[in-house]
Amino acid sequence: MTTLGSRRRWAGFAIGLVWFFFLLWPLMGIKPGGLEFLPALLVWARIAVAALFVFVLWLLKQQGALGLLERPAARLGGSLSGAARAVPRGLWIAAVLAAAFCLPFFAERYALDVVINVLVYVCLGLGLNVVVGLAGLLDLGYIAFYGVGAYTYALLSVHFGLSFWLCLPLAAVFAAVAGCVIGYPTLRMRGDYLAIVTLGFGEIVRLVLNNWMSLTNGPNGILGIKPPALPWLVDGHWRMLEVRALGGLYYVILGLAAFTVLAVYRLNHSRIGRAFEAVREDETAAQLMGVNTFAIKLLAYAMGAIFGGLAGAFFAGRMRFVSPESFTFMESAMVLAMVVLGGMGSIPGVILGSLALIALPEVFRGFELYRMLVFGGVMAVMMILKPRGLWPARRVGQRSEERGRG
Amino acid sequence: MEYFIQQLINGITLGGVYALVALGYTMVYGIIQLINFAHGEFFAAGGYMGVILISWLAAQGVPPAVCLVLSLGLTMAYCALLATAVEQVAYRPLRQSSRLSVLLSALGMSIFLQNGLMLTQGVYDRAYPTEITRGGLHFGMVTLSYMQILIVAVTAVLLVGLNALVFRTRIGKAMRATAQDKTMSALVGINSGRIISLTFAVGAGLAAAAGIMVGLYYGSVRYDMGFVPGIKAFAAAVLGGIGNITGAMLGGFIIGMVEIMAAGYLSSEYKDVFAFIILIAVLYFMPTGIMGENVDDTRV
């Protein structure tokens, strides 16, 4: 059910929407050279056509005109899901893993690149999911931990020549420490104050990276980071070789992503996960039940930061270059959008969200520019239409009043 | 000493701008407890609409003074309307939802507006016609440019006007009543939906005026110019005690002064960091701000 219950509210919303676009039109249409209303009008026209299409589909569905298509589809879906449930869950996971493992042998370079990107964002999204989805703390500076991880590996690799595998846990540790440093003063605050303070911290981290010339080389970034090394069979001997091919990098990030999924899944179903949930639902009640809320919130921060740090270290190793440009607020907003779009607290939801936000724009290459525009709009509309996301999380615990209803 | 006075003047100028933006945050927060992330975008939209109108009017041969006043008024009206539209589309349907939903919707709206500006107005800086306000008064080493006088004057007029609106008129009384207790004010016949729209409109109008003045002062506008000043203005609102109008004005001037002094005496690279540090320190040590956030009489 949406928040727009009655028809009258819908009408008000629609009128508001038209009015909103009408008002935006002059702002976007007036150019230095003169008046150019056409480009903005074209964009609006596209949006209007898309909205109309969705609306007509919805109307048809309401009228039952789609029943012809829908009923067989529902029957097919039902039988499929029945068959799917008959297959043991382990088999499914094995199949997905096998498919993921075989991917580099079939996919071309470009597709592999996109998939690697998606997996990096899966790690980030799941990390943020621990903070936002499980513990209910809105963090708008999450990308700072990604930056800390990336710079940890970059600096250690360039200055001390340390290997990727040694730096990976170090990056996680540094990110966790950063999480605690940021978390300690901020966690006493209320919900939206916390959001704005984490945003401020995220910006501070970026500004420091940008201005600390002697350490980070400022806006020019750090060059010459070594890629991760993997054991490889050379002339009958196992050697650690640096991975430059995309295939190798793919396996590294696949491993990291699998580790993240597993860790977050286990966390979700653990005692700590329950505590996170209790803090999210009602902090005072959780405290009364003996949950050390401050420690639990700090832990959520540190846990989330760890996954961000791991993804950051991989990012540095893959790009072999880091600069503060990669850690702006827009990235934070994007990761947050993945979590929200997919469904807060839901692992498949977050994976779906990162697929939707990273892979879909690659498919619609021509709309590349419109990506952030669409995404801001979708984020606002999602809150109205489907506030719990595409794949809503199933709560592990239940509230007592829900249990009564069965 | 002269350097200090110069910095003082610059600080007051910048502080006035922050105060104008901070008022929008504080009024909206006071009335519906929402951090309006899209508020910085009204500031940027005001900057763009201002440059568009000023260049267009100047090209029509309108005298500079009339041109400035006219475009200021039109831009404020435009952004006020835009803000009510945003409120109607993105916030009103969520009145009964959780606060996180509204916050995310505001964030989405901010991204949408910012990228809309970028797509249609380009990613590069847009130059402002500065010849209107060139020149200034010189006292020894200290320069007081006409631009700064203009900014301070406009800010003062707007702040006095806002004070009069909130504390002297019936509408202002309705706004304060709605901020204190929505149900109760609805019971005595105040249309709270309309009052909330009006609050958004007033806040965005002030932000738009600030946007024009920043454009004139620095000579250019950019599509993402709303973001950092937005956070700083929010810091100012928090510093003054969120929901408190007088506090937001004071907070704006303090943040502007701190930023200019820090840039002048400590490090200009880290000047943005100081505003964030103040924000965090205030929230940590005195979360109700200087003037207090629950002073019911001054709350909107």
CA dihedral sign of residues B179, B180, B183, B186: negative
Between helices A329-342 and B99-121, what is the axis angle to 10°?
A: 130
Chain A residues close to B237, C-beta within 8 Å:
none
Interface contact flag, B105 A19, Cβ < 8 Å: no
Please give, rounded to a whole number of angstroms, the shortest distance from the CA of B148 to a CA of chain A: 26
Q: Does A392 touch chain B (CB under 8 A)?
A: no
Out of A13, A20, A138, whose CB is closest to B86? A20
Interface contact flag, B283 A197, Cβ < 8 Å: yes
Interface contact flag, A201 B280, Cβ < 8 Å: yes
One-letter amino acid at A270 equals: S
Count CA atoms within 13 Å of residue A245 on its CB side: 9
Pinpoint the alpha helices (H) of A187-245: 191-211, 213-216
User: Any bridge partners for residue A238, and if so which?
Assistant: A233
Q: Does B56 touch chain A (CB under 8 A)?
A: yes
For the whole model, what pTM was predicted? 0.83
Q: Does A44 touch chain B (CB under 8 A)?
A: no
Do A75 and A100 fall within a single domain? no
Chain A residues close to B228, C-beta within 8 Å:
203
Please give, rounded to a whole number of angstroms, the shortest distance from the CA of A38 to a CA of chain B: 11
Boundaries of every domain in chain B? 2-298
Pinpoint the alpha helices (H) of A213-292: 213-216, 246-268, 271-281, 283-288
Do A107 and A37 fall within a single domain? no
pLDDT score of A399: 60
Please indicate, yes or no, if residue A373 is contained in any of the structural domains. Answer: yes
Please indicate, yes or no, if residue A89 is contained in any of the structural domains. Answer: no
Interface contact flag, B270 A207, Cβ < 8 Å: yes
Q: What is the pLDDT along chain B (300 residues), one digit of tens a residue?
A: 788 888 888 899 999 999 999 999 989 988 888 888 899 999 999 998 888 888 888 888 888 888 889 999 999 999 999 999 999 888 888 888 877 788 888 888 998 888 888 877 777 888 887 776 677 777 777 888 888 888 889 999 999 999 899 889 999 999 988 888 888 898 999 998 899 999 999 999 999 999 999 998 888 888 888 888 888 898 888 888 888 888 889 999 999 999 898 888 887 778 888 888 888 888 778 777 777 765 444 444
Chain B residues close to A336, C-beta within 8 Å:
104, 107
pLDDT score of A23: 77
Do A168 and A28 fall within a single domain? no
Q: Does A181 touch chain B (CB under 8 A)?
A: no
CATH of B2-298, one of 1.10.3470, 1.10.287, 3.40.190, 2.40.128: 1.10.3470
Pinpoint the alpha helices (H) of A133-245: 143-160, 164-186, 191-211, 213-216
Number of domains in chain A: 2
Q: What is the pLDDT along chain A (406 residues), one digit of tens a residue?
A: 455 666 777 777 778 877 787 777 776 666 555 556 666 677 677 777 877 887 787 777 766 666 666 677 777 777 777 777 777 777 877 888 888 878 777 778 888 888 999 999 999 999 999 998 888 888 888 999 999 999 999 999 988 888 888 899 999 999 999 999 888 887 777 667 788 888 888 888 998 998 888 888 888 888 888 888 877 767 777 777 777 677 788 888 999 999 999 999 999 889 999 999 898 888 889 999 899 989 999 999 999 999 999 999 999 998 888 999 889 888 898 898 888 888 888 888 999 989 888 887 777 766 667 777 777 888 888 888 777 777 777 766 666 555 554 3
Q: For an interface test with A, which of B33, B94, B107 has the most A Cβ atoms less than 10 Å from its Cβ?
A: B107
- Any long-range contacts for B186-195 (C-beta under 8 Å, 24+ apart)? B193/B92, B195/B31, B195/B171
Please indicate, yes or no, if residue A244 is contained in any of the structural domains. Answer: yes
Do A115 and A205 fall within a single domain? yes
> Could you read off the pLDDT of B158-181 as tens digits, one per residue?
999 998 998 899 999 999 888 888
- A79, A114, A136: which is the final residue of a domain? A79
> Could you read off the pLDDT of B188-236 as tens digits, one per residue?
999 988 999 999 999 999 999 999 999 988 888 888 888 888 888 988 8
Please give, rounded to a whole number of angstroms, the shortest distance from the CA of B121 to a CA of chain A: 6
Out of B85, B116, B121, whose CB is closest to A19? B85
Q: Does B270 touch chain A (CB under 8 A)?
A: yes
Q: Which two tokens stand for residue B29?
A: 């927060």
Q: How far apart are CA B251 and CA B240, in angstroms?
A: 5
Interface contact flag, A27 B35, Cβ < 8 Å: no
Q: Does A377 touch chain B (CB under 8 A)?
A: yes
Question: Three-class SS of residue B295?
Answer: coil
Q: How far apart are CA B228 and CA B225, in angstroms?
A: 7
- CA dihedral A48→A53→A54→A58, nearest 10 degrees, is 130
Do A270 and A380 fall within a single domain? yes
Q: Does B37 touch chain A (CB under 8 A)?
A: no
Out of B56, B111, B279, whose CB is closest to A333? B111
Do A175 and A316 fall within a single domain? yes
| B43 to A322, A357, B77, B210: CA distances (angstroms) | 32, 28, 13, 7
Q: For an interface test with B, which of A192, A193, A336 has the most B Cβ atoms less than 10 Å from its Cβ?
A: A192
Chain B window 128-187: which residues touch A at a Cβ cutoff of 8 Å? none
Q: For an interface test with B, which of A1, A20, A193 has the most B Cβ atoms less than 10 Å from its Cβ?
A: A20
Please indicate, yes or no, if residue A400 is contained in any of the structural domains. Answer: no
Do A44 and A110 fall within a single domain? no
Provide the pairing of β-strand B126-127 with A321-322. Answer: unpaired
- A50, A79, A108: which is the final residue of a domain? A79
- Could you tell me the residue range of the domain that residue A105 belongs to? 95-393
pLDDT score of B295: 44
Do A115 and A52 fall within a single domain? no
Comparing CA positions, the residue from B257, B272, B270, B274 lying closest to residue B6 is: B257
Please give, rounded to a whole number of angstroms, the shortest distance from the CA of A75 to a CA of chain B: 35
Please indicate, yes or no, if residue A404 is contained in any of the structural domains. Answer: no
